[in-house]
Amino acid sequence: MPRRSTSSRTGSSSGDPSGPRNRTPQPLPRRRRSFGDFVKAFLAFVALAVLLVAVPYALAVYVGWPFPDGMPSLDWLQEEITVDTFLGVLGVVVWIAWAQFTACVLVEVKAALSGVGMPGRVPGAGPSQLLARQLVAALLLVGATAASLTPGLSQLGHGMEGNQQGTVASAQATPGGSLSGMFAQQQEQAASTAAALGQQAADAASHAEVGGPSVKAEDTKYYRIQPPEGRHHDSLWEIAERHLGDGRRYGEIYQLNKDRVQPDGSRLSEASLIRPGWIMQMPGDARGGDLVEMPSAGTGTGTGTGTGASVSAPDAGSTVSPQVAQQINQYAQTGDHAQQGGGGRQGGTASLDTNTTRISLPRQQSPAATPAVDHERHAAAETSTSAESSDSGFSFGLPEALVGAPLLAAGLLGALGRRRRQALWQSALGAVGGRRGMEPPTPTGAAAAAQDALLIGADPEGVRLLDRSLRGLAASLAGESRPLPTVYAAWLSNGDLHLQLAQPAGKPPAPWQLGQDQTFWLLSRTDAERYEDVDTAAPYPGLVSLGTMDESRLLLNLESVPGIVSLSGSESDRAAVFASVAAELATNGWSDRMTITLVGFGQDLTPLAPNRLRHLDDIEALVETMEAETRQRRGALGAAGHDSVLTGRTGPAQHTRWAPHLVLLAAEPSADDAVKLAELAADASRLGIGYLVGTESGDLPGAAWEMEITSEGKLLAPLLGLELDAQVLPVAQQRAIVELFVGADPDNTPDGPTTTPPFLVDISEQGRPAVYARLVGPYEIIGLDTPEGERSPLQHEALALLLLHREGVHPRVLASALWPRGVTDDVREALLDRLRVWLGTDPDGTPRLATDANGRLTLAKSVVSDLDVLRSLYHEATQGKGVDSRVVRGRLLTDALVLVRGPLLADRPEGRYGWLTHEIIDAQLPLLVADIGLALAEFHLVKDRAERAIEALTAALNSAPGDERLWHELLRATHSTGDTDKLHQVAADLIRRSGARGLPPRTEALLDELLPTWRDGTTAVG
């Protein structure tokens, strides 16, 4: 397995032939001790003797011991404070200071003599420990251990933290190097850095002297916006791309021209809106044939403009008309931009003002980082990347597109779990003759890899916090009678949630706070964890993940866009983005009553959420459907007196008509259809409807926001200021995910879930296991010694996960289950090594923890759990030997019910075993116990042993109290005894357990049949 390698960060190129990475160790020259060294050592010895011996002796003689003579009493508090009292308190303080300094000396001496690592820090002893370090260093300066110490007494007075950071940084730069080598290397780096900066400064000065493009007025260039050609309209992005070589520099053009009066009297206020005939001042390094240059006065000849200046197109070699020349000359005199010249590149798009519609990356709230902190963050980022690349090499073909999409993976995994639970209940309730399916089909191939990727990548906690945070915000605003602000986007950055508003909306309700400006509302992860579930509608159900930028994840609110969002790119790349958007919207946890209409793609995706996803065959059907819905929503809003769905979504008049509807149109519409869609989308954001439309050319009428997906997986939205690593769901992963959902649907398999357990145990005496784990009830392990140390709970949890998945567990799935927030591959491998040693080998030498051909971890057959035995006993009783022998069936069912000691892992510690939320064992086990109880009750009732049947049913209800079938059989068995009082007691217990929900209709009908007076008892109890 590939391991992460630690590279040297010394500042030198790895390819430098003069500095190979691995060198033969060379002996360091020994430093000769001078007379001054011996003097310093003697003085340090005297100082330490005085401080460590003389001080406590003087304190003991003149002040006394710090310990009281007797037990303290309340009378001490009433005594008069005298000079002796003050001196006594001062003496105690000096004693404490001496004890702290002594501890510092001991710590420093230990570190110096061991020569390993940095000394430990004594709490609150900064200057004291620094003094102790210098004295110990001077004392040992004449010894062999001095080389491992910090610098000498000349450093006294510098901050201890600074010393520590410098040493650590040096140690990281050159592992194993001596201090002299570290300092020399740092000086070398500082000298080279200074030389590079000096060269840059000289180049800049030289450039300025020869008339660089940022300072000379004669280099000022202008561009006149051309009229549209067909459907193509000019844009600042395209102008920057043609004349500056990079479309992302359009922000520079905007900054040079914003708010300046144009020839038609209007002004440029948004970077996305320019008009034909407008004039744009360009940066000085602009190039191109249709640019116009403004030379200095009196230097040119040509068409006069009334000011003595001439205007020419230098690259084209032609002049412009007098009218255009006059307009350019007048435009050059406007604003303070005339004195600034063209300017070079100054930060690209980051300089746009807040009036421009942009989706900005939120800034962190922490103070500005020092270079050392920046270096540490950079190093951490490299370590993370290295770990990810190492994991990818160990992935066995896992689809990384799912591993890197935590919100999408969590939604899909949650929906898949609900589908499997539903299949189990349908199979149990619809079964005949006790042959009930208990096991969903085990996925194989691509479906198994996709399931592993979902388990690794899913972040259910992140989804839960996002959902609670948004609903909590809506509830708080409703409590203050404030409307919901329009949210364009949400950023998830380092656990914090940033909402970007369309416009300032005042101060957010606590615990929210303002972010980097008035259009950002921020909620920290710590505050989000305090939110609880609230009964309110989801305020922003149209949020969907598009990708990441600088480790921050963007969720765009498609519902709030004032028009169409277009997506250009190749057909396959667009399809991957559309599928990701559709899958997340269909399964996410922060949306209510969502409707997603798919046109031109996604017919196979409908099994993910049949209640949310619908597919239309063509654009004509879409236009007809959306025209009707648009009219209906407009009328509903008008009748309710709301100006938008946001005001109606959180008020007292919540209704299904405020549910969001998002249209995903992958096929490019025709010109006529595009116009119709643009008309429908003009008012869509107010109505809670969003449109995401694919296009080949990137030019779509009515498109408010334009995005592009590249073949490299980048999602670009220049006018929004976005360049994301796109979140996609390629075709192969789509098919694998759909296969998981189809396999979990009982309607698609005639026999429903399989009735055969994945692992059958030899239940005879010869099949006694070597290791036996009891999971049903309190967790116990028989046959293994308890691991020593704090790692024991981790090994127990890992073994439980492996026991619940006899088909095998991917190592990355195991690691993500035990460490949900991430772990490095070396820690994971260390755990697996400890597990192998702990489980040991069978007598024939076979390891009990092995790796199969697919790279998954599997347990040997000699390692068994009581859940395996429980399944095997029930299977043998209903489909094996118990089918032909009534006596055998009764014994097997009785043995199985005895194994049930409570719920699964009943005593598991809080905060661990969180991966059980992804499992369906919590639904399987109660059904299995109920089936065993029902089968055993039937076995006894055939022989009229009602009391024995009641015992079996009661034992099963202890582990499956919500199973309606057990209650029905218990009522029938109790009724067969003729004991009316006991039947009343069972009915009362059943009613009490049902709570406010009341009894199911079939249970009420059965009570009406067996106990007609049960309602009178309910009234009496009420």
Residues 279, 328 contacting (CB under 8 angstroms): yes
**What is the per-residue pLDDT for 231?**
41
pLDDT < 50 stretches in the chain: 1-31, 115-118, 144-218, 231, 296-310, 312-318, 337-356, 366-396, 431-437, 653, 655-656, 750-753, 1019-1022
Cite the DSSP H helix spans in 692-730. Answer: none
**pLDDT for 31:** 45
Predicted confidence at residue 164, as pLDDT, reads 35
CA atoms within 13 A on the CB side of 824: 13
Annotate 696-718 with b (16+ C-beta within 10 A) or e (fewer). eeeebbbbbbbbbbeeebbbbbb
Backbone angles phi, psi at 459, to 5 degrees: -125, 75
Question: How far apart are the C-alpha atoms of 679 and 564, rounded to whole Å?
Answer: 10
How far is it, in rounded angstroms, from Cα 673 to Cα 600? 14
* Other beta carbons within 10 Å of 556: 30
Token pair listed for 425: 């209940």
Give the tokens for residue 59.
């304190």
Residue type, 960: A
| β-strands 543-549, 552-557 pairing | antiparallel
pLDDT, residue 54, reads 79
CA gap 643, 198 in Å, rounded: 61
- What is the DSSP-derived secondary structure letter of residue 766? G
User: What does the pLDDT read at residue 163?
Assistant: 36
- Please state, rounded to an integer, the average pLDDT across all residues of the chain: 74
Angle at 608 between CA 603 and CA 611, to 5 degrees: 90
Residue 966 makes CB contacts below 8 A (sequence gap 6+) with 930, 933, 934, 953, 956, 957, 960
pLDDT digits (tens, 9 = 90+) for 644-685: 777 666 655 454 456 788 999 988 888 888 888 888 888 777
Element housing 581 (H / E): helix 571-587
Angle among Cα 324, 327, 331 to the nearest 5 degrees reads: 140
- Rounded CA-CA distance 34/847 in Å is 63
Q: What is the pLDDT of residue 841?
A: 93
Structure tokens at 394: 């160990």
CA gap 384, 403 in Å, rounded: 15
pLDDT of 289 reads 67
* CA dihedral over 369, 375, 381, 383, signed as positive or negative: negative
3-state helix, strand, coil in the chain (%, to 5): 50, 10, 40
Contacts of 343 (CB under 8 A, 6+ apart): 213, 214, 252, 256, 283, 284
Joined together, the tokens standing for residue 359 give: 């989706």
615 class by beta-carbon count within 10 Å (0-12 exposed, 13-18 middle, 19+ buried): middle
- Tokens 């480790």 sit on residue: 551
Taking residue 345's Cβ as centre, other Cβ atoms within 10 Å add up to 16
What is the number of residues in the chain?
1022
Inter-residue contact 752 to 437 (CB < 8 Å): yes
